[in-house]
Structure 1
Amino acid sequence: MTIKPQPAKYHPETAILSLGEKIGDPVKPADFPETILRFRNDRWAETVGLAHLNDEQWIGHFGRFEPLDGSLQEPLALRYHGHQFRSYNPEIGDGRGFLFAQLRDGAGRLLDLGTKGSGQTPYSRFGDGRLTLKGGVREILATEMLEALGVNTSKTFSLVETGEELVRGDEPSPTRSAAMVRLSHGHIRIGTFQRIAFERDEAMMTRLVEYCLTQFGTGAEDAAEPVTLLRQVVERTADLAASYMAAGFVHGVLNSDNINITGESFDYGPWRFTPKWDPAFTAAYFDQTGLYAFGRQAEAIHWDVAQLAVSLRLLSDADPLIAELERFADLYQQGVMKHFFRRLGLLPGELTSSLRVIEQCVKAMVETGTDIDRFFFDWRCGDAKRVEHYTGEQWDAVRADLTAFTPAGACDHPYWSDAAPCSMHIEEVETIWSAIAERDDWQPLYDKVAAIRRMGEAHVQ
């Protein structure tokens, strides 16, 4: 579920410490030669009572990582394992980031401030613990766009340029460095459970299940019931997979250590938005088998959630866990209906008939080569005048189908009168980055963020 930002007072937390020393290792942030503030997300800073910080104070906390009053006094590099492209790896963990602070918003939700590019940790292996500035810029664009499209995503909270030259084998080097902070509803991953199961630590697994249900559950469940936790994770991740499809988004690396048990999408590396509805479209050049292709993301996420079920066998019989896993497909279909119709600005109907309409829309997009964003933009609210130029049997069928559905609220935001939809394809990402790399011109990035947020406002009108 996406949450609209609401101002709140500062409410620091240290709930993660209740899990004891096995959850992570205290680490020290890197000492950077420069700290230049490039992006601060005041919209979400208000939700945790930090928008009042001036730029100097902001850099102190999110560039030099001075502790926030009342929160964690030492950053924690969290421990986890994970399946990476279906191969189990017990030698991972927070290798270039850490949990910096915990806070609560006005609704009492526990939120984490986690970092990327903040220095080496015990899990860095042979890495330098750094983040490229381009990687930080790309994460801003991904999270802003996904949030606007209704995907439950982490928020890019801060980006500080750090003045180092980094060498990377897959992009022009040397390149500029940065430290990024993301705001997330928890940083407990499926891989966190996998590590504990690997170590056969029943006591720690019990504490972790209780922590997750207490901090991220509905409040009505047994706080130590692993089947209840799996039920909630299945529901959240099925909805996440569905939201990716309606957004035309490809995460790129859906490893089990990249799946948050809250169902919140995070950690954006080689992401892409596919222009066309192409199930085989991949985001990562190294995904040569298409394991995490656009059309296989639900399968990939379900497989990851199955690894959580395997881990919870430490505390539970198999049959009730299997029963929860088997709910994924139906929940995914419901999620596709919800998110697809949300982008169309229409109220969905009965599941079977709504899914049939979605199939017809996808078929028309594929057969005519229509861009995904263009389709949703033009057909929003069933406005007949805006779709007169869609001709042919495929579109006649879509037109006939969609007339049966009711618009969901107002559809008169000025955005819907623009000449073209707001999109986020790789060419525009590269253009925005080129302005920064070649001229140190950040205005195209800020302008794009403003445009994306305007689009988001139009979708929730």
Structure 2
Amino acid sequence: MTDQKIEIEHRYLELPDSFYTRVKPSPLKEGRIVCFNAPLAQAMGFQATDPSDWAGVGSGTELLEGMDPVAMKYTGHQFGVYNPELGDGRGLLLWETVGPDGRRWDWHLKGAGMTPYSRFGDGRAVLRSTIREYLCSEAMAGLGIPTTRALFMVSARDPVRRESIETAATLLRVTQSHIRFGHFEFAAHHHGEKALRSLLEHVIGLHYPELAELPEQERYQRWYQETVERTARLIADWQAVGFCHGVMNSDNMSIIGETFDYGPFAFLDDFDAGYICNHTDQGGRYAYNRQPNVGFVNCQYLANALVPVMNEDDVRRGLRNYEIAYNQRFLQTMRNKLGLAKESETDLSLIMDTFSMLHEHSIDYTLFFRGLSSLSANGRASVRNLFVDRSVADEWLSRYQERLEEEEVSDEKREAGMRAVNPKYILRNYLAQKVIMEAQNGDYEPMERLLAVLTRPFDEQPENEEFAAPPPDWGKHLNISCSS
């Protein structure tokens, strides 16, 4: 199953043993591979001739030589309240591999059973949530947004009680690091400076080796600044594509700036700046328009954890870079989406007025920008027809056309560039729900087809036009919870 060029490691075990507990997976019955990410496996350096070879690992019935599963311990702020009881409650870090290209991969089995950190949970994941994470992590990768990835998925016959009886599944999630902001909070609040320095040096050594030779304070300052900036840029990318995470607790924030822990996520359909995709988020703490600020607050939580080992002025300077990095990334990305190669002082006003218009008139976010990307070829209809009041569209389009007169590239070149950043296909909730319903009946072909579409979100794909359609009425306000 493995290529000889792959190195097997488990560097996480170099951390103090307070950061983990060894746990064996709890076996599932008759588990079978139902989706296998062959292109990703190949990129990681693994043979994928027979995906069923991995069913035992995914079912928790087999461990390969070198696998030493551990449940990671961390803490974090959940909905603004510090919770010291957190940790991997249903997932296990199996091992780490280094591929032929030198990239490092953590292998994490989600739904592997109970751990010391399960609290009142059963340690299992259900089929619907596993499908949603598999689909969304691959959709985000297709969009070019940093994310964890899905290597394979196993379904089983074991019953799992949630709101009703569902069936169990597991996901083999891979990424360069599973360390979260919450790991640093755990070290700082419960084990002091020595543990905190161990964690810092571990992360810097593995993921920021270019900083390793710098003096300690400069090394820590440069690392924190980079972490803050990566986080800011990630959330700017979310906002630009209309992605809502749903549970931006600090224990769900990746230390390397990736989209992490997919739960009740959603991509916007009709634009609603205050959209709340998690029905348990009663106060709207993680609403779409609050995500940028929540990212900053989480960086503050990380800053507070680092104060015992860092100069406070360095921490403050690093934190100030969040707003700078976010604003630069967001403004540039929105310029790209609008096809504005030249910078103008009026651009920010145009962008914010565009968002206000989309919000006020509940315009489909993805269809609007994709329609704008073929304006010269298809005319104004693809944009105008999204509006009940066509005069609103006409007024905005006239203003937009005036701004385009400042540009120097041809319409064809500009719109080709716009289509490369404005997706035609996103993972709408209703599409995920249709796939889940088919999978619950044992048919995974619709999921495979949707995955293939989502890997090329910017291509026209005329044979897959149905996946670009707006949601039917039943699919516009699906109730998604944290239950998994």
Structure 1 length normalisation: TM-score?
0.88
Q: Which whole-Å CA distance do the structure 2 matches of 1:372 and 1:9 have between them?
A: 45
Aligned to 2:273: 279
- Aligned partner (choices 185, 195, 198) of residue 186 of structure 2: 195
Q: Percent identity, aligned pairs only?
A: 29
In the TM superposition, residue 141 of structure 1 has moved relative to its aligned partner by 1.8
Q: Which whole-Å CA distance do the structure 2 matches of 1:64 and 1:264 have between them?
A: 27
Q: Which whole-Å CA distance do the structure 2 matches of 1:105 and 1:352 have between them?
A: 46
In the TM superposition, residue 167 of structure 1 has moved relative to its aligned partner by 0.8
Aligned to 2:264: 270
Q: Which whole-Å CA distance do the structure 2 matches of 1:100 and 1:387 have between them?
A: 54
Q: Is the 8 A contact 2:75 2:251 kept in 1?
A: yes
In the TM superposition, residue 291 of structure 1 has moved relative to its aligned partner by 0.4
Q: Which whole-Å CA distance do the structure 1 matches of 2:341 and 2:57 have between them?
A: 45
Aligned to 1:48: 44
Aligned to 1:450: 452
Structure 1 residue 388 corresponds to structure 2 residue 390? no
Aligned to 1:398: 400
Q: Which whole-Å CA distance do the structure 2 matches of 1:113 and 1:348 have between them?
A: 41
Q: In the superposition, relative to structure 1, how do residues 358 and 59 fare at CA in structure 2: closer, same or farther (>3 Å)?
A: same
In the TM superposition, residue 456 of structure 1 has moved relative to its aligned partner by 5.0
After superposition, give the CA deviation of every residue in 1:117-146 in whole Å (9 maximum; x if it has no partner): 011111011111000000111112211222
One-letter amino acid of the counterpart of residue 400, structure 2: V
Aligned to 2:354: 361
Q: Which whole-Å CA distance do the structure 2 matches of 1:387 and 1:234 have between them?
A: 42
Q: Which whole-Å CA distance do the structure 2 matches of 1:46 and 1:223 have between them?
A: 39
Aligned to 2:283: 289
| Stretch deviating more after TM superposition (14-23 or 148-157) | 14-23
Structure 1 residue 377 corresponds to structure 2 residue 373? no
Q: In the superposition, relative to structure 1, how do residues 150 and 190 fare at CA in structure 2: closer, same or farther (>3 Å)?
A: same
Structure 1 residue 182 corresponds to structure 2 residue 173? yes
Alignment of 1:304-319 (within 5 A): 304-319=298-313
After superposition, give the CA deviation of every residue in 1:157-176 in whole Å (9 maximum; x if it has no partner): 1110122111113xxx2111
In the TM superposition, residue 308 of structure 1 has moved relative to its aligned partner by 0.6
- Aligned partner (choices 404, 422, 430) of residue 427 of structure 1: 430
- Aligned partner (choices 24, 27, 31) of residue 28 of structure 1: 24
After superposition, give the CA deviation of every residue in 1:234-284 in whole Å (9 maximum; x if it has no partner): 110000110110111110000000001100111111111111332210111
Q: In the superposition, relative to structure 1, how do residues 55 and 199 fare at CA in structure 2: closer, same or farther (>3 Å)?
A: same
In the TM superposition, residue 104 of structure 1 has moved relative to its aligned partner by 2.1
Q: Secondary structure of 1:421's partner?
A: coil
Q: Is the 8 A contact 2:211 2:223 kept in 1?
A: no
Equivalenced residues, count:
441
In the TM superposition, residue 207 of structure 1 has moved relative to its aligned partner by 1.4
In the TM superposition, residue 13 of structure 1 has moved relative to its aligned partner by 2.3
Q: Which whole-Å CA distance do the structure 1 matches of 2:425 and 2:455 have between them?
A: 10
Q: Is the 8 A contact 1:234 1:325 kept in 2?
A: yes
Q: Is the 8 A contact 1:156 1:182 kept in 2?
A: yes
In the TM superposition, residue 22 of structure 1 has moved relative to its aligned partner by 2.4
| Stretch deviating more after TM superposition (89-98 or 387-396) | 387-396
Unaligned runs of at least 5 residues, structure 1: 1-6
Aligned to 1:4: none
Q: In the superposition, relative to structure 1, how do residues 445 and 341 fare at CA in structure 2: closer, same or farther (>3 Å)?
A: farther
Q: In the superposition, relative to structure 1, how do residues 11 and 325 fare at CA in structure 2: closer, same or farther (>3 Å)?
A: same
Q: Secondary structure of 2:210's partner?
A: coil
Q: Which whole-Å CA distance do the structure 2 matches of 1:68 and 1:403 have between them?
A: 62
Q: Is the 8 A contact 2:269 2:428 kept in 1?
A: yes
Q: In the superposition, relative to structure 1, how do residues 408 and 199 fare at CA in structure 2: closer, same or farther (>3 Å)?
A: farther
Q: Is the 8 A contact 1:41 1:156 kept in 2?
A: yes
Aligned to 2:56: 60
Q: Is the 8 A contact 1:238 1:332 kept in 2?
A: yes
After superposition, give the CA deviation of every residue in 1:84-111 in whole Å (9 maximum; x if it has no partner): 0001100010000011121224442322
- Aligned partner (choices 192, 203, 215) of residue 206 of structure 2: 215
Q: Which whole-Å CA distance do the structure 1 matches of 2:22 and 2:344 have between them?
A: 49
Q: Is the 8 A contact 1:244 1:250 kept in 2?
A: yes
| Stretch deviating more after TM superposition (148-157 or 12-21) | 12-21
Q: In the superposition, relative to structure 1, how do residues 182 and 88 fare at CA in structure 2: closer, same or farther (>3 Å)?
A: same
Q: In the superposition, relative to structure 1, how do residues 8 and 310 fare at CA in structure 2: closer, same or farther (>3 Å)?
A: farther
Q: Secondary structure of 1:160's partner?
A: strand
Q: Secondary structure of 1:262's partner?
A: coil
Unaligned runs of at least 5 residues, structure 2: 385-392, 462-484
Q: In the superposition, relative to structure 1, how do residues 227 and 164 fare at CA in structure 2: closer, same or farther (>3 Å)?
A: same
Q: Is the 8 A contact 1:86 1:255 kept in 2?
A: yes
In the TM superposition, residue 10 of structure 1 has moved relative to its aligned partner by 2.5
Q: In the superposition, relative to structure 1, how do residues 400 and 101 fare at CA in structure 2: closer, same or farther (>3 Å)?
A: farther
Q: Which whole-Å CA distance do the structure 2 matches of 1:193 and 1:207 have between them?
A: 10
Q: In the superposition, relative to structure 1, how do residues 64 and 408 fare at CA in structure 2: closer, same or farther (>3 Å)?
A: farther
One-letter amino acid of the counterpart of residue 309, structure 2: L
- Aligned partner (choices 12, 33, 37) of residue 33 of structure 2: 37
Q: Secondary structure of 1:307's partner?
A: helix
Q: Which whole-Å CA distance do the structure 2 matches of 1:444 and 1:46 have between them?
A: 23
